[in-house]
């Protein structure tokens, strides 16, 4: 028998409803969030090229480290400036 310890202290993960996705990105600002994992910027560079070619306005953001949640001021900036956010995870 093995015991697994959960450092969050939560017995049940909180439920979160998904936000509705827009039917199109036309006229919207898309934020690309690099979480600072290796090669995440490569993925986002290509995604930015594809989105820009389709006429989408793109803004780039980067977390200081992938090991922590994004700072409050960064989350606020993204929420104020973007309608859609894509987060990159790569290795």
pLDDT mean over 34-49: 92
pLDDT at position 30 over 90: yes
Where in 1-91 does DSSP place strands (E)? 29-34, 57-62, 84-88
Global pTM?
0.77
Q: Taking the domains of the chain in order of start, what are their residue ranges? A: 29-88
Q: Which two tokens stand for residue 67?
A: 């090991």
- 68 with 15: CB under 8 angstroms? no
pLDDT at position 8 over 80: no
pLDDT mean over 43-51: 95
């Amino acid at each position: 028998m093995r015991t697994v310890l959960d450092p969050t202290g939560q017995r049940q993960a909180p439920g979160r409803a998904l936000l509705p996705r827009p039917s199109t990105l036309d006229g919207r600002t898309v934020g690309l969030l690099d979480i600072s994992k290796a090669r995440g910027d490569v993925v986002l560079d290509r995604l930015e090229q594809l989105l820009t070619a389709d006429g989408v306005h793109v803004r780039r953001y980067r977390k200081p480290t992938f090991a922590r949640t994004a700072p409050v001021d960064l989350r606020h900036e993204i929420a104020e400036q973007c309608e859609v956010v894509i987060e990159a995870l790569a290795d």
